[in-house]
């Protein structure tokens, strides 16, 4: 057994083999449930990166099969649901120079994306509002007004570096989706659901903006600081040479 895999903790791409992956199955010996015989399949993958070595553990509830010796869970058994136990979510590690409040909202949105997609979308909305206030320096009474201000800056070419018109449009879409959880509909009989896959798309947009806004700005600052350091060093060498 061998397959390509990327560690959630350190984002190291690697090939998983029998040496760092193990799967165990267990069938429940009970009276027949209404949904059929059930069992568990647990898989543990340990990152092969020596600086990480963290385990990723998932557990699936599967259909069990009966044979002459009892019950078992086959490799191609029907899977009813899967839960990742370690780590708690598929959240990607984020650098410390991103404000902790934004990172906390992002992590929480990732943790509950399957349990409560609507709440996850609401957290994604709050995270993006925090990004607009922190990165773009825009603070208005409502997120709608903040996005409108940012859109005008982008249209005029005055938005902060990394902020594009299409990213502002995507943020506005998240505002609308996040409103489903943030504000009660006037007609309480109107129920608008957010699917886990839809909430996951919002999380992925946050990850994209973290990269395009904060990470790229940090890299640019590091490059400029390095250029300044080299220039200062050369200037010092020049002064020494004149003596």
- 54-105 pLDDT tens trace: 999 999 999 999 888 788 898 889 999 888 899 988 888 899 999 999 999 9
Q: Which domain holds residue 21?
A: 3-86
Which of these three, 86, 112, 136, is where a domain ends? 86
Instruction: Report the percentage of the chain scoring pLDDT > 90.
Output: 56
- Within 8 A by CB and 6+ apart from 23, the residues are 41, 42, 43, 44
Last residue of a domain, one of 25, 58, 86: 86
Tens digits of per-residue pLDDT, 30-59?
Answer: 888 888 899 999 999 999 999 999 999 999
Verify that 160 and 214 share a domain, yes or no: yes
Please tell me whether residues 138 and 178 are part of one structural domain.
yes
User: Is residue 178 located within the same domain as residue 71?
Assistant: no
Q: Is the pLDDT of residue 184 over 70?
A: no
Phi, psi at residue 20, to the nearest 5°? -125, 20
- Please give the tally of structural domains in the chain: 2
Radius of gyration (Cα) for the chain, nearest Å?
25
| Residue 65 shares a structural domain with residue 127 | no
pTM over 0.85: no
Who wins on pLDDT, 135 or 189?
Answer: 135
Query: Which pLDDT score, from 0 to 100, does residue 190 have?
Result: 47
Residue 236 lies in a domain: no
Q: What is the pLDDT of residues 133-147, one digit of tens each?
A: 999 999 999 888 999
Does 197 lie in the same domain as 106? yes
């Amino acid at each position: 057994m061998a397959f390509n895999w990327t560690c959630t903790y350190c984002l190291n791409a690697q090939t998983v083999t029998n040496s760092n992956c193990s799967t165990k199955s267990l069938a429940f010996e009970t009276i027949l449930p209404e949904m059929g015989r059930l069992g568990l399949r647990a898989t543990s993958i340990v990152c092969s990166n020596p600086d990480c070595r963290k385990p990723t553990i998932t557990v699936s509830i599967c259909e069990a099969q009966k044979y002459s010796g009892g019950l078992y869970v086959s490799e191609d058994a029907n899977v009813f649901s899967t839960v990742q136990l370690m780590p708690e979510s598929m959240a990607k590690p984020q650098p410390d120079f991103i404000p902790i409040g934004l990172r906390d909202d992002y992590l929480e949105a990732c943790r509950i994306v399957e349990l409560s997609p609507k709440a996850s979308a609401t957290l994604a909305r709050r995270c993006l509002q925090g990004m607009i206030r922190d990165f773009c320096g825009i603070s208005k009474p409502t997120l709608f007004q903040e996005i409108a201000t940012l859109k005008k800056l982008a249209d005029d070419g005055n938005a902060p570096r990394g902020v594009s018109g299409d990213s502002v449009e995507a943020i506005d879409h998240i505002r609308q989706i996040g409103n489903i959880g943030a504000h009660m509909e006037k007609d309480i009989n109107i129920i608008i659901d957010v699917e886990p896959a839809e909430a996951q798309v919002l999380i992925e947009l946050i990850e994209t903006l973290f990269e395009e806004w904060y990470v790229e700005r940090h890299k640019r600052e590091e490059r400029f600081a390095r250029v300044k350091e080299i220039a200062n060093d050369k200037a010092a060498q020049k002064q020494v040479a004149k003596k």
